[in-house]
Structure 1
Amino acid sequence: MTLINLRNFGITLGVPLISNLNFTVSARDRIGIVAANGRGKSTLLNCIAGRLEPSVGDITRSRGLRVGYVEQNVPADLAAMSFYHAVLCALPDEQAESEGWRVDVTLDSLDVPQVLRERALADLSGGWQRLAMLARIWVTEPDVLLLDEPTNHLDLAKISLLEDWLNALPSDVPVLIASHDRAFLDAVTHRTLFLRQEQSTTYALPYGRARAALEEADVSDERRYQKDMKTAQQLRKQAAKLNNLGINSGSDLLTVKTKQLKARAERLEDMARPGHQERSSGAIKLANRGIQAKILVTLDDAGVETPDGTLLFKTGKRWICQGDRIVLLGHNGAGKTRLVEMIRHAIADQSVSGAIRATPSLALGYSDQALSHLGHDDTPLGLITRLFELGEQRARTLLAGAGMGIDMQGRAIGRLSGGQKARLSMLVLRLTNPNFYLLDEPTNHLDIDGQEALEGELMAQEASCLLVSHDRSFVRAIGNRFWLIEKKRLVEVDGPEEFFAEAGRRN
């Protein structure tokens, strides 16, 4: 049964985002929505939820349909509330008084520990805040569930918990998920909508298989495009010849025929624009200045501690060598980011003694998950010109290539979207021209095209790196060595799969 129907749907916000979308949502649907950053995923969900109206076209919903929309951010007025109260106040007042048990049932289904239920949302991790927003919507018993980037800020255990929870929902409740997490989409969806400006496409397949089908269609689309462009070129040549003959002979018939040929060429050109050319919102390029040293960083049984001096783990004797792409695995709080910080400081201090030693010729490219190296009040143009002594025109060209138009280049970085900040961070890394990368959650906020571009660049540049990531697809694609933090020791393992499986069992 069709619950939601979009007909000739279109959204224009300054520029067209979506055009001519015809799409239905039925009971039992589990739909992944995939698009580049800034291409309308959140806007589409807002329209489906009834918060926004489309620029053109219609959305019809079944009578009385209750749509629950879990947005990305925690509203400011909820920050001081406890986890429990933030969920309870999502219910109408009379229902909250008589049916508060619904909150307990929902929080139990999400395995929220009792100790966290009385803690203020502002004091919780981003992962628990995301689950609180989900619980707020689910307690209202919606007929359709909309999730906007639900795995943002979640560690592997919570991602696994969310996957299990979604797969255990009543099968007649459709779920629409806008996400860049490829492994997550494969685990919880069976339909995929690839959102494009003019040629959005739907497949009755989970993301991985749908992506393969889309790429096959894009190859066919490209062949058709090239054929149509060749035909249009021939028509224009014929039109030019007839036009010359018509001028010389004064024939009205040849003039009419010339116009008809030009019109046919224009129709072909207008209709032939291939959807696959609507790619990501800016290029990602990296660099590798090269290095002669074979051993880049030495860890000599370094102790990794909390700020209060509690030992988290010891590294043992480890080396990071040229060509290593090491993925650091471990549960939240195990000390992954602490180790990354210690290595960063050793490189910055050019330390050649102590428990962590870096070769003096190391040039570091660093990015943390909060993108804290990007000033909140700075502008992209100001940041790039100051850090790299580039002329304004060159800086503007580089920023445009990274997906930041003239209007964004003078905007405060704090006002940019997560995806725009991530691409700016990648541009800074490229211009730094490092020979070693330390990357803490580098795929946060990157769309799928951006993630794949980053993977391709790290491989193509033969970059040496140590990285932390909860993105299973990214880890599988990039890593050639894997270090695992367990039982207060750092050990090398053959691959990430056993850790992924164990993280799922912990939820």
Structure 2
Amino acid sequence: MGSIGLRNVSVLTPHPLFRNLTLTVGRGDRLGIVAGNGSGKTTLLRCLAGLAEPTEGDVVRSRGLRIGFVPQAVPEELLGLSLRDAVLSGLDPADRAGSGWRADIVLDEFGAPEPMRVQALRALSGGWQRLALIARAWVAEPDALLLDEPTNHLDLEKLFLLERWIREGTGGAAVAVVSHDRSFLDACTTKTLFLRPDTSVVFSHPYGRARILLAAQDAALANRNEKDRREIGRLRQNAGELRNVGVNSGSDLALTKAKQLGKRADALEERLKILHRDRPGEVRLASRETHARVLLRIGNLTVNRPDGEVLFHVPKLDVAQGERIVVLGRNGAGKSQFVRLLHRAASDPDACSDIRVGPSAVLGYMDQDLSQIPERETPFGFVLSAFRQGDRQTTALLAEAGFSIAQQQRPVGTLSPGQKARLGLLALRLARPNLFLLDEPTNHLDIPGREALEEQLLAADATGILVSHDRRFVAAVGTRFLAVEGRRVREVASPEAFYARIQAG
């Protein structure tokens, strides 16, 4: 076992992602790395792994340290391999012969069924592909494990499994994990790094407690800066008055005191620290008023797979103003199919007689693939044609959402997932809906974006039906909860009992 140390490490691209970062990740550490999208988290992981070099500073690794690195995307060359062979590829070629048992042991830890192990990786779900990458990194028994967004595409069952494995199955290995899932970070990390362009901050606590401490530290810094600024103003005013006295009266003593006061003001200015601000493009929503009490009514609705197989039945459901109903269920239970049915009925009232959307309802729809945004269209063209704001206003709206002029003219298909999510939320805002249908809206949003979405939904007293695996988001915005289990839907008082059943298997 060993450690990875950073000494005054900076990365400039050319603007600083982070600078003067000093940090050690050692035996038994489980470090959560938190920052907004595009703020350097992946770059930091790659520097820790030796896959990238910092602009300044040193990365020191213990002699012989074995590092397992888990990227966000599945390497193309692995997709044609079987699950078992993909895991084995994490070993040196000379060690693979006769080592199939190693892959089997790791796959046993993750509960991979035997028939699945011979299937090609490209045929498996996104969740199993993520677990395959983690198993591939772990099969070589690394001393340090670096995980970049490991919860992407995981359903709740696999998410709980991964949390438990990181806590209990990684032994004394050093773990560093990048994630936007606040509940996940609280469940399996012991330290938190808030990565910032100027001064990054580390706390020896999981995310929730660390976030409280960070807020208190930021508030104290803001107060100190304000006091220092007032003192700087007073010193400069006094120095100016003394300088005038010295010049008018020829007093060397007054001029000397004026210089001393000026130097004290200069010293205080140097002490002022830059307050961190989250990146531009924060989430904002708008909602239009309606006098209708019930905006959506469902009666005797059957939700089927595309092949006709019955998934579940909804005998009766009314969605009243101010209600945000969260639909809970395992992957494959039919949650997304349910939301798609509601969207189709809202777009075409004759599509389904079992769904009635109020005449005053204005729909705001967002699916987890953001399929409502044309991939070949540019953000500028999409917003201009869909909402007719005019060229200048469209440019300003996109800039406010965090899109540069160059990004506004690129095809949507070339944008990052986080940028697509921000564009989808901008479209929701401009539609000014009073009925939201949101399927995994926090996918690809960073923590500031998720928290802003929560705040906006609450501030607007939004009405709608939502699907999400983000437990913190569900707890923050949900007012009613439906659990889909065993082809049945039932209302539950809170999601906690549902989560407990999943964890219990």
CA distance in 2, matches of 1:167, 1:198: 31
Shift of 1:215: 1.2
Q: Report the secondary structure of 1:27's partner residue.
A: coil
Superposition map of 1:372-383 within 5 A? 372-383=371-382
For 2:353, the aligned partner's letter is G
Shift of 1:236: 3.2
Q: Scaled by the length of structure 2, what TM-score is found?
A: 0.95
* Cα distance change of structure 1 residues 380 and 233 upon mapping to structure 2, 3 Å threshold: farther
For 2:313, the aligned partner's letter is K
CA distance in 2, matches of 1:13, 1:400: 21
Partner of 1:45: 45
Partner of 2:329: 330
CA contact (8 A) 1:38 1:281 kept: no
CA contact (8 A) 2:198 2:274 kept: no
* 1:34-59 CA distance string (max 9 Å, x none): 11111111110000000111111111
* 1:74-96 CA distance string (max 9 Å, x none): 11222222211211222222211
* 1:155-190 CA distance string (max 9 Å, x none): 100001101111222432010011111111111011
Partner of 2:488: 489
CA distance in 2, matches of 1:249, 1:282: 56
CA distance in 1, matches of 2:261, 2:411: 50
Partner of 1:196: 196
Partner of 2:363: 364
CA contact (8 A) 1:243 1:258 kept: yes
Shift of 1:27: 0.7
Residue range with higher mean Cα deviation, 365-374 or 303-312: 365-374
Superposition map of 1:56-205 within 5 A? 56-205=56-205
For 1:297, the aligned partner's letter is L
Superposition map of 1:400-415 within 5 A? 400-415=399-414
Shift of 1:115: 2.0
* Cα distance change of structure 1 residues 83 and 398 upon mapping to structure 2, 3 Å threshold: same
* Percentage of matched positions with identical amino acids: 48
Residue range with higher mean Cα deviation, 155-164 or 415-424: 415-424
CA distance in 2, matches of 1:478, 1:92: 48
Shift of 1:238: 3.3
> What is the alpha-carbon root mean square deviation over aligned residues?
2.0
CA distance in 2, matches of 1:407, 1:254: 56
Shift of 1:245: 5.2
Shift of 1:354: 0.9
Q: Report the secondary structure of 1:446's partner residue.
A: coil
Q: Report the secondary structure of 2:20's partner residue.
A: strand
Partner of 1:17: 17
CA contact (8 A) 1:298 1:358 kept: yes
Partner of 1:294: 293
CA contact (8 A) 2:2 2:65 kept: no
CA contact (8 A) 2:2 2:143 kept: no
CA contact (8 A) 1:280 1:450 kept: no
Partner of 2:221: 221
Partner of 2:211: 211
Shift of 1:402: 1.7
* 1:407-428 CA distance string (max 9 Å, x none): 4222332222222221121111
CA distance in 1, matches of 2:416, 2:236: 44
Partner of 1:394: 393
For 1:421, the aligned partner's letter is K
Partner of 1:304: 303
Residue range with higher mean Cα deviation, 467-476 or 395-404: 395-404
For 2:132, the aligned partner's letter is A
Q: Report the secondary structure of 2:364's partner residue.
A: strand
CA distance in 2, matches of 1:440, 1:14: 37
For 1:168, the aligned partner's letter is E
Q: Report the secondary structure of 2:97's partner residue.
A: helix
Runs of 5+ unmatched residues, structure 2: none
Shift of 1:100: 2.0
* Cα distance change of structure 1 residues 110 and 231 upon mapping to structure 2, 3 Å threshold: same
CA contact (8 A) 2:280 2:400 kept: no
CA distance in 2, matches of 1:165, 1:45: 20
Q: Report the secondary structure of 1:199's partner residue.
A: coil
CA distance in 1, matches of 2:43, 2:267: 31
* 1:307-340 CA distance string (max 9 Å, x none): 1111111101111111111000111111101110
* 1:93-127 CA distance string (max 9 Å, x none): 22111322111111111111112212222221111
Shift of 1:404: 2.1
Q: Report the secondary structure of 2:326's partner residue.
A: strand
Partner of 1:230: 230
Partner of 1:422: 421
CA distance in 2, matches of 1:254, 1:434: 67
Q: Scaled by the length of structure 1, what TM-score is found?
A: 0.95
Shift of 1:234: 2.3
